[in-house]
Amino acid sequence: MPVRRPAIRQPRWQRRPDARPEEILAAAQVVFGEQGFAGARLEELARRAGVSKGTLYLYFDSKETLFREMVRARIVPAVAAGEEFVCAYQGPARDLLVELVRRMWDTIRHPAMASITRLVQSELQNFPELARFYFDEVILRGRRLLQSVLDRGVASGEFRPDLHQFACRGLPHLMVFSAQTQCFFHAMDPELLTDDQVLEGILDLFLRGVEARPAAGPVT
């Protein structure tokens, strides 16, 4: 009588090889945000992604490469989407600016993104090549995108000329700081504003600064 061998049970779920880079990049965004660049350990990144350290090296040869690819995959697309939106938009520059600021706020306010901007501000000066990469890929592109909208409004007479093109620098600074306050100090603030209130305040303050004829009523 032949011996019956127990059937080999196949795992109910198997990781697709082509999914691994995305899972590693998602884990990298979290770990870099939590631990900073210098403090992030590749062993922890691999553990969070559910892969071995050796597998991680199959896709990314260094922590610096992983950081760059994380930025390209998880942050730069938001800038690119903003560029496409502005290019296709037909209508008043003021309405375009309001919608762009809302989209920027949704991105910057996300806790994972707020953690990365905190890392950029506090740590990347110690890594000049990464700082230059982030500045060119994210900060400078975002600044030029915002300036293109302001230029459109100046040309249409909706916005006043901007001294030294400071507005396209000042608005991201205001939004980043506000997002970090909302993310990291909300439990300590006895007069905490909601995210919607913060956004309304940013729009009100900024639009009154750039409009050729500031509106008399609240910004909507």
Structural domains of the chain ordered from first start: 17-71 (1.10.10.60), 75-210 (1.10.357.10)
Q: Check the CA dihedral 200-197-171-142 and report its sign.
A: negative
Check residue 34 and give its pLDDT.
Answer: 93
Check residue 20 and give its pLDDT.
Answer: 84
Check residue 115 and give its pLDDT.
Answer: 94
Q: Check the CA dihedral 59-45-25-20 and report its sign.
A: positive
Query: Which residues touch 126 (CB under 8 Å, ≥6 apart)?
Result: 38
pTM of the model: 0.84
End-to-end CA distance of the chain: 83
DSSP H/E element including 68: helix 63-74
Q: Is 4 exposed, middle or buried (0-12, 13-18, 19+ CB in 10 A)?
A: exposed
| 3-state DSSP assignment of residue 159 | strand
- What angle do the packed helices 76-88 and 140-156 form, to 10 degrees? 20
Integer Cα distance of 170 and 118 in angstroms = 17
Give me the residues of the chain with pLDDT under 70, please: 1-19, 214-220
Query: Which residues touch 21 (CB under 8 Å, ≥6 apart)?
Result: 59, 69
